[in-house]
Amino acid sequence: MQSLLTPVHTPVPVEVLEAEIRRICGAFTLEPTLSSGIVAGDVATRRMGLFETAIVGLDASKHVERGAKAIRQDPGEHFFLLVQDTGQCSVEQNGRVADLEPGDMFLVDSVRPSRFLYRGIRSSQVSIHLPRNEMVHRFGEACTGGVSISRSDPLWLAMRAVLTKMIDSSTAQTQLGEAFLCLLGAYLQSTRGAGATETLLSRALALIDRHGVDPAFGPRELASRLNVSERMLQRHFQALGETPGHRLLNRRLEIAYSRLSARSPQAANDGIAAIAYDAGFNDLSYFYREFRKKYGVTPGAVARCH
């Protein structure tokens, strides 16, 4: 397994290294193995496209811990995707223990106590900081509580390849970051079960079904109800190959078509405007144009045929 990054392992007082870890990663405590209070290690930062990343190297540390007291003092705004680069590390969180070898990944939840044991073996890790609010909005509860990412899953190999590309490339970082998040989301849903959690996209679709007939309900209102930006909302809808606005339009057209299909021939020429308004349209000419574009016939023709 090729190393991603090479951190520096410099002997320093444990208090110095702990202060650096706290500055970069948040409230963690570090316990040295040696009674001298000296540890060999280093923490550095690197921006990789969408993500702030910490490169952590440790030699003689017994454990690094984030306990309940530290969480109260520093609630944490991120998940930490820990990628074991060289050496070994055991991660304990939420009753789970994962022994990380080079290439293994573990998604650490910053609001749950966690413990990292190194047993005096030189270790280097890449810690990718993922904004907690955005992750939960994207993936629901599937990303919480500590998640081990198995290298036996084909998605692991894809994530590793994108991560390597992000480190080596100075271009297309935004696209690579989005690709990485999409792969991570696919892994989370496949391992937890797509029906077990409610993602931001599923909530958005449910809101469209519920409020789509309201002419005032548009992409801006949808994003506001989900507490995300319109741009972020659009990124989620890319998986469907459409925009939130197109989804709303199609939903309204489907409602209008269903109601027109249920009408009697005698009423074919009456009430089409009312049906359009009831489906969420406030512009009749727009309704007629988009209806014909989608179905290839006029609303009146649909009503007369049913």
In a shared domain, residues 102 and 215: no
Q: Domain check: are 226 and 249 in the same one?
A: yes
Residues 105, 164, single domain; the answer is yes
The pLDDT, as a whole number, for residue 35 is 58
- Taking alpha carbons only, the member of 189, 201, 186 closest to residue 233 is 201
Helix, strand, or coil (residue 87): coil
pLDDT means over runs of 10, the chain (306 residues): 58 81 84 66 82 83 80 83 90 86 92 84 88 82 88 88 82 78 86 54 84 93 88 82 91 89 54 91 94 91 76
Question: Does residue 3 form part of some domain?
Answer: no
In degrees rounded to 5, what are phi and psi of residue 30? -125, 125
Alpha-carbon distance of 9 to 59, in angstroms, equals 7
Beta strands in the chain (DSSP E): 10-13, 29-32, 38-48, 51-58, 61-66, 78-86, 89-93, 96-100, 105-109, 114-117, 123-131, 147-149
CA atoms of 141 and 34, how far apart (whole Å): 40
Task: Copy the structure tokens of residue 178.
Answer: 């989005």
If asked whether residues 145 and 262 sit together in one domain, one would say no
Domain end position, chosen among 167, 192, 217: 192
Q: Kindly state whether residues 84 and 222 are assigned to the same domain.
A: no
pTM score, whole prediction: 0.61
Q: Do 38 and 154 belong to one domain?
A: yes
| Residue 64 confidence (pLDDT) | 86
| Cα(192)–Cα(290) distance, integer angstroms | 39
Clarify whether residues 113 and 179 are in a common domain: yes
